[in-house]
Amino acid sequence: MKERKIAPYVYIFPTLLLIIIFVYIPIIQNFYFSFFKMSSYSTVKTFVGFSNYKNIFADEIFYTAVINNTLYAVISLIFQVGIGLCLAMLLESRFVAPKLRTFFRSIYFMPSVISITVVALIFQFVYTPDIGILNGFLKAIGMGKYSHAWLGETKTAIFSIIAMSQWQYVGYIMMLFIVAIQKIPEDIYEAADIDGATGLQKALFITIPQVKEMTLVTSVITVIGAFKVFSEVYVMTSGGPGNSSQVLSTYLYRSAFINDEMGYASAIGVIIFIITITLSFIQIKISKSGQV
């Protein structure tokens, strides 16, 4: 009898302890650090109140980063959620033979399991001016005048990185939609068939409303992802040229480990935290049971 009282805690305790020490405490501590001026190797901290936050809101690079993260979010919403949904509907439609479905699905999904670092390195080659795939393609179709040093120009750098993310993740979001579409009861479509509905009508008036919840969930995870993005930018441009492609987390990294302003970096962390946690609560609200 006694064993049944203690045993459950023995099972749960190690996990709980690890999560509290290495996930919760650092985040709480991060709030605390954001009120100090501190550097990486010394233990001396100077209390500075809200001055880190004041400096952030007067910092031009911070606003560039926020704009870039927002661009990331908006473009990803249109491409990953929008095109992801369209692709899922096409693949589940009668236009595609069942055997080909599996083939398309696997190919589209594949980029999302390759590491971001590898994808970013490959896309450096896509965007390289002289031998790159993109400029080569533009030349081949007679649009060579639109060639750019995609990652080397302030106007194109962030968009080139965002485009790469679409290449990597459209298939992932598509897969989530396919799962949702497959859960729609068949008889709804049969009833529509009897009423003489066209394929387009069925897509617009059955499929899209039926996957509404998944649309909201994928939208939220896409936006959260866009505000957390780090490796893509770090590997391809490190935020350059001239901070033009800086995002919040690369700026956090630069502040902490290159400029050695750890308090300032913590304050950026708090801002990322507030943005992502708000979005997470929206996601939980949408998916209620946490089952999606």
Give the range of 55-63, 99-107, 152-160, 184-192 binding other proteins by CB under 8 A: 99-107
Residue choice 56, 73, 88, 91 for contact with other proteins (CB under 8 A): 91
Q: Does position 169 bind other proteins by CB under 8 A?
A: yes
Both tokens of residue 31? 């709030």
Contacts to other proteins from residues 186-245, by CB under 8 A = 217-218, 221-222, 224-225, 228, 230-231, 234-235
Min separation Cβ 57 and other proteins, Å = 18
Q: Does position 121 bind other proteins by CB under 8 A?
A: yes
Q: Nearer to other proteins by C-beta: 127 or 243?
A: 127
- Say if CB 37 and CB 45 are below 8 A apart: yes
Q: Does position 143 bind other proteins by CB under 8 A?
A: no
Residue 1 is classified by DSSP as -
Q: Nearer to other proteins by C-beta: 157 or 262?
A: 262
Residue choice 1, 44, 58, 113 for contact with other proteins (CB under 8 A): 113
The alpha carbons of the chain give a radius of gyration, in whole angstroms, of 24
Number of chain residues interacting with other proteins (CB under 8 A) = 92
Q: Does position 258 bind other proteins by CB under 8 A?
A: no
- Say if CB 45 and CB 38 are below 8 A apart: yes
Identity at 231, one-letter amino acid code: S
Residue 154 is classified by DSSP as T
DSSP states along 225-282: HHHH--HHHHHHTTT-STTTT--HHHHHHHHHHTS--HHHHHHHHHHHHHHHHHHHHH
Min separation Cβ 206 and other proteins, Å = 19
Give the range of 48-56, 109-117, 141-149, 154-162 binding other proteins by CB under 8 A: 109-117
Q: Nearer to other proteins by C-beta: 33 or 150?
A: 33
Contacts to other proteins from residues 13-72, by CB under 8 A = 14-16, 18-27, 29-30, 33, 40
Q: Does position 78 bind other proteins by CB under 8 A?
A: no
Angle between helices 60-76 and 248-257 in degrees, nearest 10: 140
Closest CA to 164 of 275, 245, 106: 245
Contacts to other proteins from residues 260-289, by CB under 8 A = 262, 265-266, 269-270, 272-273, 276-277, 280
Q: Nearer to other proteins by C-beta: 63 or 125?
A: 125
- Say if CB 77 and CB 223 are below 8 A apart: yes
CA distance 127 to 162: 13
CA distance 180 to 177: 5
Closest CA to 85 of 209, 189, 223: 209
Q: Does position 126 bind other proteins by CB under 8 A?
A: yes
Min separation Cβ 259 and other proteins, Å = 12
